[in-house]
Every structure is written in structure tokens, then in C-alpha cells.
């Protein structure tokens, strides 16, 4: 593994159990998680009673029986990713996307708390019945 450390599935599950007391959802995200085979990790977390969500850009096949899949498109999204998606989240800077598919919930997230992007997102979700996604921890100044 270039630029990082390799951790076994049992080590990951033990870390989650030790540090996520009271939480029963685990979100697999960061970089592009679909670059890894996630099936064993998802199964191990399910065995310990966790629900598991994935946030992916949708450009690679998804392995694992996830409870929730969020596709945040970057590049050419695979149709199979859209079929598995519970939601598709677009990061908005200065224009609203025009999705060419039906099915999952559409969420718009303003880029970097930008006031103009936020206003654009609010207008679009009200007009189209989509959802607004904000990074609440940034507004509350949490890590």
C-alpha cells in the first residue's frame, strides 16, 4: 500500500468497537474506498452489529453488502454504482447538475460553505424536491 499503512479487517473492527461506543453506523469513505475489496470488512462489521454505509465516486465496482450507498460523482459513474445507490450527492460550486438517471435520492452539497453555492443549492432543492446536504460539523466548528 503506497503512502499509508495496511490494517487487517479484525484490527479495523476492534478499533471501531473501541472508539465508536454507542454508535451503530460505520461510514466507509476517504480517498476512493472502492479501490479495495470491502466485502470482508462489511461482513465483519455486520457480524458485530454495525450498519455500514459507503461513500464512493462511483467509478469502480462496489464490493460488499452495504446498508447505504452514497455516490458522489467524479468522472464517469458506472451504471452498476447508480443501481446500488441510495443517494447521489453532488458537490455544487456554481451550477446545478442535470442528472440523466432516475431512482436514487439527489442531494446537493454546497462546496466549502460558499454562500453563493449554498443559495444556489437551496433554490434548486426547493424547486426540484431534492435534498440539501451540508457539512454541519463545519458550521458548528467541530473536528
User: What is the DSSP code string of 16-37?
Assistant: HHHH-TT--EEEE-SS-GGGS-
pLDDT tens, position by position, 44-103: 999 999 999 999 999 999 999 999 999 999 888 999 999 999 999 999 999 999 888 887
Whether 107 has a pLDDT exceeding 90, the answer reads: yes
The answer to whether residues 57 and 105 belong to one domain is no
Helix, strand or coil, per DSSP, at residue 58 = coil
Q: Which domain holds residue 53?
A: 1-85
Structural contact between residues 28 and 52, judged by C-beta atoms closer than 8 angstroms: yes
Band the pLDDT of 125: cuts 50, 70, 90: very high
Examine the domain organization and report whether 103 and 56 are in the same domain.
no
Residues 74 and 43 in one domain: yes
For residue 3, what pLDDT is reported?
66
C-alpha cell at 42: 462489511
Q: Are 19 and 79 part of one and the same domain?
A: yes
In this prediction, residue 115 has a pLDDT band, given cuts at 50, 70 and 90, of very high
Q: What is the pTM of this model?
A: 0.85
Do the Cβ atoms of 45 and 67 come closer than 8 Å? no
**43, 108: one domain:** no
Please state the rounded mean pLDDT for residues 105-120: 92
* Helix H or strand E segment including 25: strand 25-28
- 3 and 51 assigned to the same domain: yes
Mean pLDDT of 121-143: 88
Number of domains, the chain: 2
The residues facing 61 across adjacent strands are none
Residue range 134-140: average pLDDT?
Answer: 82
From 85, 106, 135, give the residue that closes a domain: 85
Amino acid at each position: 500500500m503506497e503512502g499509508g499503512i495496511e490494517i487487517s479487517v479484525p484490527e479495523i473492527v476492534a478499533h471501531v468497537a473501541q472508539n465508536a461506543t454507542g454508535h451503530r453506523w460505520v461510514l466507509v469513505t476517504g480517498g476512493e474506498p472502492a479501490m479495495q475489496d470491502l466485502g470482508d470488512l462489511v461482513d465483519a462489521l455486520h457480524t458485530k452489529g454495525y450498519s455500514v454505509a459507503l461513500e464512493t465516486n462511483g467509478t469502480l465496482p462496489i464490493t460488499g453488502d452495504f446498508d447505504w450507498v452514497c455516490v458522489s460523482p467524479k468522472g464517469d459513474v458506472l451504471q452498476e454504482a447508480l443501481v446500488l445507490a441510495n443517494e447521489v450527492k453532488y458537490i455544487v460550486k456554481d451550477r446545478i447538475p442535470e442528472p440523466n438517471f432516475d431512482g436514487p435520492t439527489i442531494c446537493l452539497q454546497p462546496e466549502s460553505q460558499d454562500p453563493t453555492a449554498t443559495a444556489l443549492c437551496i433554490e434548486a432543492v426547493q424547486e426540484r424536491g431534492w435534498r440539501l446536504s451540508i457539512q454541519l460539523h463545519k458550521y458548528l466548528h467541530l473536528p
